[in-house]
Amino acid sequence: MRIGSWGKHRSVLYAPISGDGNSPGSFAAGRQWGDNPPVARVFVGIGSNMDDREAHLDLARRRLAQMDQTSLIAFSPAYETDPVGPIPQGRFLNAVAELDTTLEPEPLMRSLREIETESGRPATGQRVKWGPRTLDLDILLYDQQVISGDDLVVPHPMMHERWFVLKPLCDLDPRAVHPLLQMTVGELLKYLEQEASQRRSDGAT
């Protein structure tokens, strides 16, 4: 089974934050407090490769913390990685945020798009596929839900192939489970790194 590709990467100094004592892997999907709506555990992928990348990630962190019906539980370290795709462009800073939210997936995605717009990113219909972006926010996991729509696919369809998604996600919770592959994030990352190591060994012979 081929999981995905590998790019050059290095961690950068961007301290993670943690929340109110939830231990990794311990969050029950769709839990409910009293008569309140169910609280979903969500992981959001964050990337920037234009202008002041650190400032864009900081904007994402601040706006996620201020989002209605949502609590920012943790924000991973950021990693600098090579871009993916056919368009030459600068390197990315990538991170992952963990949220508790009572927002349904579609309203949550709309709120994420508003943050992207605030960073200066064009509207969805005006974007260049694979092109550079001030800020990119994607729902990676929403509890154990599987969503396949025109505008939203969860789990993110490429997350298992991308080190720059799996590594910061693993920093937050290596035991989070991909609901389609039924593998933990830690297992997916290990497989991806082993595959990359094997390709490097094959190339050296």
Summarised one tens digit per residue, pLDDT across range 74-101 is 999 999 999 988 889 999 999 999 999 9
pLDDT band of residue 33 (cuts 50, 70, 90) is very low
Q: Which two tokens stand for residue 110?
A: 């709309």
Residue type, 176: A
Grouping H, G, I as helix, E, B as strand and the rest as coil, residue 125 is helix
Among 11-25, 55-69, 157-171, 175-189, the minimum mean pLDDT is found in: 11-25
Q: Which residues are catalytic?
A: 121, 133, 136, 138
The predicted pLDDT at position 36 comes to: 77
Average pLDDT over residues 151-169: 96
Average pLDDT over residues 23-46: 67
14 contact partners, CB below 8 Å, separation of at least 6: 54, 57, 77, 78, 93, 95
The C-alpha R_g of the chain, in whole angstroms, comes to 17
Cβ–Cβ under 8 Å, residues 24 and 172: yes
Q: Does residue 2 lie within any of the structural domains?
A: no
Of 3, 47, 63, the closest CA to residue 169 belongs to: 47
pLDDT band of residue 31 (cuts 50, 70, 90) is low
The predicted pLDDT at position 28 comes to: 38
Preceding amide of 155 cis, omega within 30: yes
pLDDT band of residue 4 (cuts 50, 70, 90) is very low
20, pLDDT greater than 70: no
Average pLDDT over residues 40-67: 97
Average pLDDT over residues 167-192: 98
Q: Which residue range is the domain that position 192 belongs to?
A: 9-204
Cβ–Cβ under 8 Å, residues 110 and 67: no
5, pLDDT greater than 70: no
The predicted pLDDT at position 122 comes to: 78
Q: Does residue 46 lie within any of the structural domains?
A: yes
Q: Does residue 3 lie within any of the structural domains?
A: no
Q: Does residue 184 lie within any of the structural domains?
A: yes
Domain count, the chain: 1
CA distance 40 to 20: 16
Global confidence as pTM: 0.83
CA distance 190 to 8: 16
Q: Pick the residue with more confidence: 31 or 11? A: 31
Helices vs. strands in the chain: H and E counts, helices first:
4, 10
CA distance 145 to 179: 7
CA distance 142 to 150: 17
> Tell me, what CATH number does 46's domain have?
3.30.70.560
171, pLDDT greater than 70: yes
- φ, ψ of residue 162 to 5 degrees: the values are -120, 115
Q: What separation in angstroms does the CA of 105 have from each of 13, 72, 123, 127?
A: 31, 16, 19, 22
Q: Which two tokens stand for residue 119?
A: 């960073």
Q: Does residue 4 lie within any of the structural domains?
A: no
27, pLDDT greater than 70: no
Q: Does residue 1 lie within any of the structural domains?
A: no
Q: Does residue 63 lie within any of the structural domains?
A: yes
Q: Does residue 133 lie within any of the structural domains?
A: yes
